[in-house]
Amino acid sequence: MTPTPRSLLRPRDADALRATLRAVATEGDVPVLFGGEVHGDTLLLSEFVGTRTQNLRGLAVRSRSGLGGASMVAARPMSVADYRRAVTITHDYDRPVLSEGIRAVLAVPVLVDGQTRAMLYGAYRSSAPFSGRAADLMITSARALGDELRIRDEVDRRLRLADAQAPAGAHPIGVEQIREVHAGLRSLAADSPPALQGRLRDLAGQLASALAGETISTAAALTVRELDVLAEVALGCTNTEAAQRLSLQPETVKSYLRSAATKLGAHTRHEAVSKARRAGLLP
Indicate which CATH number applies to the domain containing 184. Answer: 1.10.10.10
Q: What is the pLDDT of residue 222?
A: 87
Contacts (Cβ under 8 Å, ≥6 apart) of 64 = 70, 73, 90
186 CB burial (10 A radius; 0-12, 13-18, 19+): buried
**Same domain for 69 and 182?**
no
Q: What is the pLDDT of residue 38?
A: 96
- ∠ CA 33-35-38, nearest 5°, is 165
Which residues face 120 on adjacent strands? Answer: 35, 108
**Same domain for 241 and 147?**
no
Domain that holds residue 69: 5-152
Contacts (Cβ under 8 Å, ≥6 apart) of 149 = 13, 16, 110, 112, 117, 118
Please tell me the distance from the alpha carbon of residue 30 to that of residue 52, in angstroms, as a whole number.
14
The number of domains in the chain is 2
Q: What is the pLDDT of residue 71?
A: 97
**Same domain for 148 and 271?**
no
Q: What is the pLDDT of residue 80?
A: 95
Please tell me the distance from the alpha carbon of residue 68 to that of residue 32, in angstroms, as a whole number.
15
Q: What is the pLDDT of residue 168?
A: 57
The low-confidence residues of the chain, meaning pLDDT below 50, are 1-9, 213-218
3 CB burial (10 A radius; 0-12, 13-18, 19+): exposed
Q: What is the pLDDT of residue 57?
A: 93
Q: What is the pLDDT of residue 41?
A: 93
In a domain, residue 157? The reply is: no
